[in-house]
Amino acid sequence: MAYENNRPSADQGSSVNAADTVQAEPVTDWVNDWDWLDDSWGANAIDIWNGVREQCPVAMTERYGRAFMPVTMEAVSAIANDTVNFSSEFVSVAQPDAIRRPAPPITSDPPDHHGHRRLLLPSFSPKRIQEMESELREYTRSLIADIRAADSSTADAAAQYSQHIPVHGIAQMIGVPDSDADLFRDWIYRNFQIAPRDNRVREQVTAEMRAYFAELLERRAAQPEDDLATLVTNAEIDGEPVDNELKLGYLLLLLLAGIDTTWSAIGSGLWHLATNPHDLARLAAVVDDPDDMLWLTFSEEVLRYYAPVTMGRKVIGDTEVAGCPIRKGEQVLVTFPAANHDPAAFDQPEEFQIDRAQNRHVAFGLGIHRCLGSNLARLEMKIAFHEWVSAFPTYSIDEASETTWTNGQIRGPRNIPVVLAGDN
Ligand code: HEM
């Protein structure tokens, strides 16, 4: 298969002018005034969570109405497993008057959640995902071929590599073209980086996505294909057809959940190897065996150490978390990445151990909403790391440029400037 003609640009472009968006005061007190959109969050989130944990298990802010940020495994697990007091109707801490639309199963609570999840689950089974391996590997190799063809000693491993692989994977599954990838990236940027502070942007992005998917549903109703869009078009739960609003929600969720979550994990792993030559050398020594355990333990440690996804919940019953009273109507983060750095849960959490033996990380969440796409994410990570290290076994970070990290709900490197030294 040839991929050359539909390569999206991944240029980080966005239709939003930063000057038009809502600005906020910089954070000086992370315990009493946290803000996940603060300029210093992306690069320093791990230090921020660790600093808060030294003082208390739960931080708070008034910036999004009253909202709490737990930083221990115990507090995060308690919230994720408690669907009586914490609702998933709001899964992103945002302005209190934000209009939320359903995107099941992630935004549904029991008892509805089960039916939505059961509908989508078979498409993400280990067997179905494994069938994608050779095509995904071929696509990934085509990205490497493009980088080599550019004939440069440097590259951006995010814009030219990690940001393409998950777009391709989920686009294939849903049944949308790779050539729309710039559009998807723009939606993701505005939805996660700008919308939490700005309801107008949230409305705009949602309207654009809904129009795109409404048209896709109409096309699949007229002409079915073998893809997720067709499965959603014909969706029934317990013999009853699913409402069109919910069908749009499924597709919005699959696209949003399937892309920058995984590119952030791949990007964090590539950034780690570029800045830790000892770990890179250990992987380079096993490139001939893609099934060597080190690839697996490396991916899992990337997921633990650099876990990209933090969710939100709406409080629906007065309760308490780690002794901190939380009232109905307030919001909480489910800070899975912070829990992954809790010394009460992990031996030496601040050490990245490429061969960590015990690694019960919660990067994919906990409880009924645990990630539906984890098999796909793990496959994409495995292929991405193996193909990259096979091609560039001695690459390193380009000290002449700086890496910036995304803020908010999904955290990862926006750009990874590298020098492609070695055998290339
Ligand atoms: C490294 C990559 C990924 C990470 C770290 C990640 C993380 C998560 C987390 C933490 C949750 C729990 C949400 C909650 O508790 O509210 C979740 C749920 C979900 N994820 Fe992922 N995810 C990743 C990749 C993917 C991919 C590739 C897909 C494919 C579409 C996907 C689809 C979903 C869906 C549909 C849910 C909702 C499940 C439910 O509510 O029952 N994710 N993910």
Question: Does ligand 1 have an atom closer than 6 angstroms to the CB of 364?
Answer: yes
Nearest CA to ligand 1 atom 34: 372
What mean pLDDT do residues 284-308 have? 98
* Domain architecture of the chain: domains with CATH: 28-419 (1.10.630.10)
Question: Does ligand 1 have an atom closer than 6 angstroms to the CB of 377?
Answer: yes
Phi, psi of 147 (to 5 degrees): -65, -45
pLDDT at 378 exceeding the cut of 50: yes
What mean pLDDT do residues 127-135 have? 97
Nearest CA to ligand 1 atom 43: 371
Could you report the per-residue pLDDT of 166-191, keeping only the tens digit for each?
Answer: 999 999 999 999 999 999 989 988 98
Phi, psi of 151 (to 5 degrees): 55, 45
Question: Does ligand 1 have an atom closer than 6 angstroms to the CB of 174?
Answer: no
Q: How far is the CA of 395 from the centre of ligand 1 (A)?
A: 31
pLDDT confidence bin for 206, thresholds 50/70/90:
very high
Question: Does ligand 1 have an atom closer than 6 angstroms to the CB of 265?
Answer: yes
Nearest CA to ligand 1 atom 27: 258
Average confidence score pLDDT of the chain: 92
pLDDT at 20 exceeding the cut of 60: no
Among the residue ranges 69-83, 371-385, 395-409, the one predicted with the least confidence is: 395-409
Q: How far is the CA of 323 from the centre of ligand 1 (A)?
A: 29
pLDDT confidence bin for 195, thresholds 50/70/90:
confident
Q: What is the pLDDT of residue 18?
A: 42
Could you report the per-residue pLDDT of 333-373, keeping only the tens digit for each?
Answer: 999 999 999 999 999 999 999 999 999 999 999 999 999 99
Q: What is the pLDDT of residue 96?
A: 67
Could you report the per-residue pLDDT of 232-246, keeping only the tens digit for each?
Answer: 999 999 999 999 999
Question: Does ligand 1 have an atom closer than 6 angstroms to the CB of 263?
Answer: no
Using a 10 angstrom Cβ sphere, with 0-12 exposed, 13-18 middle and 19 or more buried, the burial of residue 360 is: exposed
Q: Is the dihedral of CA 316, 117, 359, 36 positive or negative?
A: negative
Among the residue ranges 16-25, 66-75, 212-221, 362-371, the one predicted with the least confidence is: 16-25
Q: How far is the CA of 257 from the centre of ligand 1 (A)?
A: 6
Question: Shortest CA distance to 260 belongs to which of 5, 25, 14, 1?
Answer: 14
Residues of the chain above pLDDT 90, percent: 85
What mean pLDDT do residues 249-276 have? 96
Q: Which of 113, 371, 406 to mutate to test the pocket of ligand 1 (most atoms within 8 A of CB)?
A: 371
What mean pLDDT do residues 145-170 have? 96
Q: How far is the CA of 375 from the centre of ligand 1 (A)?
A: 10
What mean pLDDT do residues 149-164 have? 96
The secondary structure of 82-103 as a DSSP string is: -TTTEESS--S---TT------
Q: Are 297 and 354 in contact (CB under 8 A)?
A: yes
Q: Are 107 and 100 in contact (CB under 8 A)?
A: yes
Beta-strand pair 396-397/417-419? antiparallel
Using a 10 angstrom Cβ sphere, with 0-12 exposed, 13-18 middle and 19 or more buried, the burial of residue 148 is: middle
